Amino acid sequence: MNISPRRIIYLDLMRALAVLMMVEGHTTDTFLADHFRNPDSWLYQLWLIKRGFTAPIFMFTSGVVFTYLLKLQNQPFWENPRVYKGFKRVITLLVIGYLLRFPTASLIDYQSVSLEQWYIFFTVDALHLIGLGLLLILIFELISETFKVNSYIVFLLGALFFFIIHPFTEKIQWTEYMPVPLAAYFYHKTGSFFPLFPWAGYVISGALLGSYLAKNPDVFTSRRFSKNLFIIGIVLIIAAPVFASINYLNSLQKDTYYFVPLRLGGVILLNSIMSYIAVKLDTIPDIIKWIGRHTLVVYAVHVIILYGSAWVPGLNTLFAKSMNLYLSVCCAIVMIAAMIIMVWGIEKYKLTFKKEVARN
């Protein structure tokens, strides 16, 4: 099946932007000193707003790309090669996610590992969440095919489930009913940054758009697609304070039902902008495509550099929250540049390796 170049451009732009936003946010947050985090500063508030959208963008984009490639094959579930690649991707994300927080350099001796270190190890972060989100997409796709239900409906109900149920899952003491490693996936109280509720909803929401892209090969030839996304994004943003103002919701629920449509609307607006740009472009630099292709490597490497691992220390051990605004921004620029150079090196090495194999 021939794939529209504009579709490739659109997806590459989104993937590259999502991971580079993540790199910038982590780097700046690691180095910026506390006394520069002034809540009265419009610049700091703008950065905080950007950070609040970074994870949803990363998760939504993962869902879009994964489902787009899955549905593009247009084959029965168990005959679709993307299904098996999807399961492999899920396992890879989970393994890397846990290795990044592995509590000890020894693979056999755990006597020196403290309870706090175990809790850190079991923390559910972005990679864990995306891995489980992709697994849920596969399950929902199988349900859709098995019971002959439109996949749009299944994905929509799945996303709404994780968004709506979230305030109630936070009130349950999950550690009383299951081990900490499992409980960490259900709420924040064990220290998880991105439990399934509500964050899996963003990955599954991306599956809706990914399905649409796969079923409409020529969608990027018209600006109407961008306009439709723009309208959906604006409607969600306007709806955010409406949901938050419902008088029977308590404060936690107000925050939940405000930020979910606000962030999701912002993410869809960004998709509108990227798709509009893609309509105007015939091609993009290879480096952007390569960054999109190596998002997992970029994520894992920059996390190790900043936070370290059980085997190597991170820069945060020396410079955590010790720099002014300008130095922090410079560090973020250097980190982004380093990731771009790394990706360029990987692709150049692959090209050289292929040439050597061809010669032999």
| Residue from 279, 259, 144 nearest 201 by CA | 259
| Percentage with pLDDT > 90 across the chain | 67
What rounded mean pLDDT belongs to the chain?
89
CA dihedral 47, 49, 119, 18 (to 10 degrees): -80
Amino acid letter, residue 228: N
Amino acid letter, residue 324: N
Sign (positive or negative) of CA dihedral 100, 264, 343, 355: positive
pLDDT of residue 33: 94
pLDDT of residue 10: 82
pLDDT of residue 41: 87
Work out the average pLDDT over 191-206: 96
pLDDT tens by residue, 146-182: 999 999 999 999 999 999 998 889 889 999 999 999 9
- For 247, the enclosing helix (H) or strand (E) is none
88 in helix, strand or coil? Answer: helix
Answer whether residue 238 shows pLDDT above 90. Answer: yes
**CA dist list (Å): 275 to 55, 62, 67, 294:** 20, 16, 17, 21
Cα Rg for the chain, rounded, in angstroms?
21
Q: Provide the pLDDT confidence category of residue 4 given band limits of 50, 70 and 90.
A: very low
Answer whether residue 247 shows pLDDT above 50. Answer: no
Distance between CA atoms of 13 and 18, rounded to whole angstroms? 8
Domain positions in the chain: 5-359
Measured in whole angstroms, how far is the alpha carbon of residue 20 from the centre of its chain?
A: 11
Please enumerate in sequence order all residues whose Cβ is within 8 A of that of 271, keeping only pairs 6 or more positions apart, or say none: 14, 60, 64, 209, 229, 233
Measured in whole angstroms, how far is the alpha carbon of residue 22 from the centre of its chain?
A: 9
pLDDT of residue 288: 92
The pTM score is 0.92
Q: Provide the pLDDT confidence category of residue 253 given band limits of 50, 70 and 90.
A: low
pLDDT of residue 228: 94
Q: Provide the pLDDT confidence category of residue 360 given band limits of 50, 70 and 90.
A: low
pLDDT tens by residue, 288-337: 999 989 999 999 999 999 999 888 889 999 999 999 999 999 999 999 99
